[in-house]
Structure 1
Amino acid sequence: MRPLYRRLLIALCLLLALGAFIVWLKRPQPIPVVLKTVEPGLVEASIANTRAGTVEACQRAKLAPITGGRIEYLGVKEGDHVKAGQVLMRLWNEDQQAQAGLASAQLDAMRKRVAEACTAADSATREAERKHKLFEQGFVSAGAEDTSRLEAQARRAACETARAEVKSSDARLASVRIEQRRTILIAPFNGTIAKIVGEVGEYTMPSPPGIVTPPAIDLIDDSCLYVKAPMDEVDAPRLAKDQAVRISLDALPGKPFEGRVRRIAPYVSAVEKQARTVDIEVDFVRPEEARGHLLVGYSADVEVVLARHENVLRVPTAALLEGNRVLVWRPADGKLEERKIKAGIANWDYTEVLQGLTAGERIVTSQERAGVKAGVLATPEEDSPGAK
């Protein structure tokens, strides 16, 4: 019988070992998770534009002559740098030049007429004075003295009339010259010619407000640039002049520029339904960095810094669950623990931790993975099998 008992005992041990092996195979496997160590750092509270902003020139003028006409002279080409007061374009104005010449000749003639009339008036005045003295001495009659005096008065009136006509002719000449200036386009400030519409010999028209007519010349002062960007209306109460701004451009990735809020629009723009924004203007802190690198019209994004806390405990904002909760990995037993924190200022990257965590603890940043929840067994992804 002993051999039978021994065989039964061996079989029982084998069954127990097999059961233990099956249980071991079916034990819960740790879930690989990505962890982030909680440590001090910089956290900023900020707001960003809702739609892309634009790099603008401090001065930009879309110029057109006051009157329409045929282009006779075009003294610049696109890309040229011009000085304030420089003649850019002139329309055909020979008729006005002729009128100006006629008015100038008439003015010269009237000035000579003044000299003639006033000289005659002076002579008549002296003659009247001489006749008056002779009358007092009894050498001439009262009628002769009276006639001489009236003649002097008439001559003096003719002199004054001639002088008035000179003023009138002078005003007429000034009017013709002003009319001439309506056909001349002059640079109002130093800048660069961005666009020219029209060539010599072509007809150009003025571009009055409300009528879509391209300007003859688009002049830009690219020595001074700023960024104009729309901000959501709900963020408007938190905006203030001189707030720090980070400017980023699609054309220059990875090269942010420092800026300052210089102006906040005093009204809300309703560009689209449910899209109400407030425009802000941002100056570059170091304008010399912008000059030579930026073009007017570049799209730009701005991030207005509302608050800045340095060397504070922080966690990635993406690691926060609803209700300011995080999953903390306990190295003692390898399980995940849900913990609620008290958050301070935050941005898209980091959130300040006021309470609930200590430096050195590790939290889960891969909550989207299947099975990741409080109480499960987890292992850092770098420690899991097959991880590099």
Structure 2
Amino acid sequence: MSKSKSSTKKLLYVVAGLVILIGLGAVVGKSMGWMGGGTAAKDVETTEVKLKTITEIVSASGKLQPEVEITMRPEVSGEIIELPVKEGDYVKEGELLVRIKPDIYQARIDETNAMLLTQKARLEQARASLLEAESVYEQNKKLYEREAISKTEFVQSETNYEAQKANFNAAKYQVQSSEAQLEQAKEELQKTIIRSPRDGTISKLAVEVGERVLGNTQSIGTELLRIAKMDQMEVQVEVNENDIVNVSVGDTSNIEVDAYPERVFKGVVTEIANSAEISGEGTNEQVTNYEVKIRVATPHNLDMVGDGEMVREESSEMTEDEFVPSFKPGMSAAVDVQTETARNVISVPIQAVTVRDFAGETPADTTQSDTTDVDQDLVVPEEDMRKVVFVVEDGKAVRKEVKTGISDNTHIQILSGIEAGEEVVTGSYRMLSQGLSDGDEVNVNNNRFGQMASN
């Protein structure tokens, strides 16, 4: 008997719990509009439609590089015997950078000079032989005209004269060839001294004293160093093919460098590539990008320009609030290219614009006939997705179709559909994406959503 009473008591507890859960579910469902025919007002967050200036941006990331950078390679091979610069030094045009051991090239000059002297001596010998042959020829010519010698002797003297003339010309050309070789040897000797072709900073030094380098005569030479204009840096980024059509030369941009967090620098688009860089070609992950170069317009790297006196003079004129960054090649940077600006246009927060399917809706000025073909119920209408916003009018949500323009990170331009001053629904996300319908009663509760966002 006691077991029966215990089972009955447990059953009563279970039933009571179910009743309480059902009651709580009914209260929650009614408050959320799930019960009672959907007549309960839905809590929404709203904002007023205002005029705003919107700037559309294209974001990309890349690396900082000097806008002008020269790679120095030797024209002659040999051992480096002098290297008076180090990485980071500022050099001026004509300043000594590298000296290559000149012994071989000096010896070649001496050898070529000796050859030239030999060829000049041969030229003088050829000149003497030519004069002798010319004299004999002139004498034999007069004798032949008086028939004092035979024709054979005259022809021999004439032939010898022509041969000596050709020999003299050959000797003269040999002298010219030796002179050209001597000039070439002197130029090669001069090329053992490498000087800076322009003002700039040594951005990279790839060799040390004692190393042997290869010249450009037979193949690409050894890289010695690089000279860059460090006060003219640019960001090289890759922009997707969907965004590149919006970018133009001259567009301004904001640049954020990882090395300087919470600082924004100004930039200008200077170059846009015409050829694409394709990765993953032929696969589902194929990506097509275009390289874009953005010049850093904010003054930078002033400590790498000119001599120390000029730097100190410029630095002394700066106020405490001014900041001059020191960029280095290869630093990571992110850019926001400002492609288009619309001033004082109707705009709403991006989340206020949602999409609804207009397919299958019956126009208000027509009535549906009960005698329509039954087979039409089996036809699935095609989707007709349109952009809409919900406007609060007399406590109800009114759906309005809109056309949109450009957008920034927070707002989107409205070309048509609503006017400034109207009250549009901006939240919650779940309510806008699924729960809200045209004509629903709404309860504007901006304070509640603001508290939730702050929490």
TM-score (norm 1): 0.70
Query: Residue 38 in 1 paired to residue 17 in 2?
Result: no
Q: Is the 8 A contact 2:204 2:227 kept in 1?
A: yes
Query: Residue 248 in 1 paired to residue 255 in 2?
Result: yes
Q: How does 1:282-293 map to 2 (within 5 A)?
A: 282-284=293-295, 289=299, 292=302
Structure 1 residues 384 and 224 mapped into 2: Cα distance closer, same or farther (>3 Å)?
A: closer
2:169 match? 160
Structure 1 residues 106 and 366 mapped into 2: Cα distance closer, same or farther (>3 Å)?
A: same
Write the deviation string for residues 273-292 of structure 1: whole angstroms up to 9, x where unpaired.
726132232354x8585674
- Give the Cα separation in 2 of the matches to 1:366 and 1:201: 72
Residue type at the aligned position of 1:377: N
- Offset at residue 36 of structure 1 (A): 3.7
Q: Is the 8 A contact 1:34 1:366 kept in 2?
A: yes
Structure 1 residues 214 and 162 mapped into 2: Cα distance closer, same or farther (>3 Å)?
A: closer
Q: 1:215 aligns with which of 209, 223, 229?
A: 223
- Offset at residue 100 of structure 1 (A): 2.1
1:358 match? 419
- Give the Cα separation in 2 of the matches to 1:255 and 1:231: 20
Residue type at the aligned position of 1:381: N
Query: Residue 48 in 1 paired to residue 59 in 2?
Result: yes
- Offset at residue 313 of structure 1 (A): 0.6
- Offset at residue 243 of structure 1 (A): 6.1
Further displaced range: 90-99 or 338-347: 338-347
Query: Residue 92 in 1 paired to residue 101 in 2?
Result: yes
Q: Is the 8 A contact 1:316 1:351 kept in 2?
A: yes
Q: Is the 8 A contact 1:88 1:185 kept in 2?
A: yes
Residue type at the aligned position of 2:64: V
Residue type at the aligned position of 2:48: T
1:280 match? 291
5+ long unaligned stretches in structure 2: 1-30, 33-40, 303-324, 357-386
Structure 1 residues 341 and 244 mapped into 2: Cα distance closer, same or farther (>3 Å)?
A: farther
Further displaced range: 292-301 or 362-371: 362-371
Q: Is the 8 A contact 1:93 1:183 kept in 2?
A: yes
Query: Residue 228 in 1 paired to residue 236 in 2?
Result: yes
- Offset at residue 366 of structure 1 (A): 5.2
Structure 1 residues 143 and 378 mapped into 2: Cα distance closer, same or farther (>3 Å)?
A: closer
- Offset at residue 53 of structure 1 (A): 1.9
Structure 1 residues 34 and 100 mapped into 2: Cα distance closer, same or farther (>3 Å)?
A: farther
Write the deviation string for residues 18-40 of structure 1: whole angstroms up to 9, x where unpaired.
xxxxxxxxx99x99986543211
- Give the Cα separation in 2 of the matches to 1:214 and 1:91: 13
Specify which structure has the higher proportion of strand. 1
Q: How does 1:1-388 map to 2 (within 5 A)?
A: 36-49=47-60, 52-65=61-74, 69-82=78-91, 87-133=96-142, 136=145, 148-174=157-183, 176=185, 185=194, 187=196, 189-204=198-213, 215-222=223-230, 224-236=232-244, 238-239=245-246, 241-242=248-249, 244-250=251-257, 251=259, 253-260=262-269, 262-270=271-279, 274=285, 276-284=287-295, 289=299, 292=302, 294-323=327-356, 324-326=387-389, 328=391, 337=397, 339-342=399-402, 343-363=404-424, 365=426, 367=428, 375-381=441-447
Q: Is the 8 A contact 1:314 1:352 kept in 2?
A: yes
- Give the Cα separation in 1 of the matches to 2:213 and 2:351: 58
- Give the Cα separation in 1 of the matches to 2:248 and 2:445: 49
5+ long unaligned stretches in structure 1: 1-26
- Give the Cα separation in 1 of the matches to 2:246 and 2:277: 13
Query: What is the aligned-residue identity percentage?
Result: 24
Further displaced range: 98-107 or 130-139: 130-139
- Offset at residue 91 of structure 1 (A): 2.8
Structure 1 residues 306 and 283 mapped into 2: Cα distance closer, same or farther (>3 Å)?
A: closer
- Offset at residue 257 of structure 1 (A): 2.2
- Offset at residue 354 of structure 1 (A): 2.8
Residue type at the aligned position of 1:132: K
- Offset at residue 351 of structure 1 (A): 0.6
- Offset at residue 149 of structure 1 (A): 4.1
The number of equivalent residue pairs is 354
Q: Is the 8 A contact 2:48 2:424 kept in 1?
A: yes
- Offset at residue 89 of structure 1 (A): 1.9
Q: Is the 8 A contact 2:45 2:449 kept in 1?
A: no
Structure 1 residues 356 and 132 mapped into 2: Cα distance closer, same or farther (>3 Å)?
A: closer
Write the deviation string for residues 60-111 of structure 1: whole angstroms up to 9, x where unpaired.
2333436664311224322334456655323334123212221122113323
Q: Is the 8 A contact 2:96 2:193 kept in 1?
A: yes
Greater RCO (Cα-Cα under 8 Å, separation 6 or more): 1
Residue type at the aligned position of 1:161: A
| Secondary structure at 2:207 match in 1 | coil
Structure 1 residues 47 and 288 mapped into 2: Cα distance closer, same or farther (>3 Å)?
A: closer
- Give the Cα separation in 1 of the matches to 2:429 and 2:112: 87
Structure 1 residues 240 and 348 mapped into 2: Cα distance closer, same or farther (>3 Å)?
A: closer
| Secondary structure at 2:242 match in 1 | helix
Residue type at the aligned position of 1:266: S
Q: Is the 8 A contact 2:280 2:287 kept in 1?
A: yes
Q: Is the 8 A contact 2:54 2:343 kept in 1?
A: yes
